[in-house]
Amino acid sequence: MGIKFKPDSVLRASVQIPAALNQEEAYLWSRLGSPIQFKDLQSLCPWPEEKFLEILKSLHNKSGLGQLEKPTATAPSKSISVSAEVRELLQGDKFDPVAKEIDEKFRRECLIRLEKSGNDNPFENLDLSVSASDEAVRRSYLELSKRFHPDRFFRKNLGPYRKRVNQLFTIVQKSYERIKNPHDREAEARKLRLKDRVEATTPKAAKSKPRRMDPEIERIGKAEMIYKQGLEAEAQSRFVEAANHFQMASQLNPEKNLYEKALQKIRPELERYKASEFIKSAKKALELGLADDALLASEQAMKMDPQNFEAAVLAAKSILKCGMKERIQDAFEMLRRAKVNLPKNAEACFLLGQVYQVKREEDKAILEYEEALRRDPQMSLAKNYLIKLRGE
């Protein structure tokens, strides 16, 4: 009976280096220098699931795996309160086409961990108590460094979370450096205990009147911070996220015209981005034979970006596919403009030929098919229609 692996099975390399390993098996064996869960190992490897399992089983058959360890039971996670700032960022993710595809639990965890890292508590950053043992520190470090290791997300588009994951990985590394040595760990623990004692002995009167930033200053500062996040997103061409940040900053501080100007400046880029998304939808609809849906999507793209002539070609193609003779003149005008503005596009000429055939103007159709072939000599459809129209 073959060996079976569970997602939380803990794997490690054998003590002795196995003989006769091929290149893939040797690579996999090298990743097992310290205990690692099956699911984490799989995420670090470049192969599809079936190939990964095949190599892992082959390595096991060659005695390349140490004794499998059973997953350790973990205490049920406590309910973690989410701050208003984190909720606000999660709400903004709904308008980011990349961020909203990332698991929400993972996004929430990233934001909460980054927020609490501001407490400058290395134990908290590694999910440890101040009395944690050497083994507990090492185990937590390995688990978190694997969870947020950049290699794990090598082929994934994380959008704004790429930078956050990198920050978390750095926080984990630095926190571990501060407490991996028992003497350093005790010093950090003493410092935290002293801080707790100071807070505990603070007079009640002082506690009842905590110092708080003036709400007006806080509002203005928050608007500026969100605006800078928008500039960062704009620089990385994440226009939906940037627009959300600029709009939020403008709402927080409407007196500052800079935020509204930034929003207006980015609007054309945002419209072009939305148009490109509609174009993708139109192409997909045509592939599925849904010409009506393709026409709606391509016309939406044209509204967003009137100078997008690729959308015009798709709209005209959809009209022809739908057999909408009452809109054949619309298709003609779209293709005529697209032909001029897309001088290398053969499809615009080919579709113009189709329009002329619907209008029973075969001589003009022949000229368009010839132009299509000049632009793309391999366009077999244009060749076939030419042969048919010429009676060859």
Domains of the chain in sequence order: 10-61 (no CATH), 84-199 (1.10.287.110), 353-392 (no CATH)
Sign of CA dihedral 37, 39, 44, 49: positive
pLDDT per residue as tens digits for the range 111-166 = 888 888 877 889 989 988 888 888 888 998 999 988 898 888 877 888 888 888 89
Structure tokens at 65: 């795996």
Q: Nearest CA to 322 among 298, 348, 346?
A: 298
pLDDT value at residue 80: 54
pLDDT value at residue 5: 74
Average pLDDT over every residue of 74-84: 54
pTM of the model: 0.43
Cβ 37 vs Cβ 7: under 8 Å: yes
In the three-class reduction of DSSP (H, G, I as helix; E, B as strand; rest coil), residue 46 is classed as coil
**Residue 33 DSSP one-character state:** S
Angle at 258 between CA 257 and CA 264, to 5 degrees: 90
Position 76 pLDDT exceeds 60: no
**Residue 102 DSSP one-character state:** S
CB burial of 186-202 (b: ≥16 within 10 Å; e: otherwise) equals eebbeebeeeeeeeeee
Contacts of 123 (CB under 8 A, 6+ apart): 129, 130, 132, 175, 179, 188, 189, 192
pLDDT value at residue 379: 92
Tally: H helices and E strands in the chain: 19, 2
pLDDT per residue as tens digits for the range 85-118 = 788 778 777 767 788 888 888 888 888 888 888 7
Ranges of H-type helices in 62-181: 84-93, 104-116, 122-125, 134-147, 161-179
Contacts of 212 (CB under 8 A, 6+ apart): none
Q: Nearest CA to 350 among 334, 366, 363?
A: 366
C-alpha Rg value of the chain to the nearest Å: 31
pLDDT per residue as tens digits for the range 205-257 = 555 555 454 566 677 778 888 888 889 988 888 888 888 889 888 888 887 78
What's the first-to-final CA gap in the chain, in angstroms?
68
**Residue 325 DSSP one-character state:** G
Sign of CA dihedral 261, 264, 265, 266: positive
Q: Nearest CA to 52 among 17, 24, 19, 23?
A: 24
pLDDT value at residue 163: 86
Q: What is the band of 169 on the pLDDT scale with cuts at 50, 70, 90?
A: very high
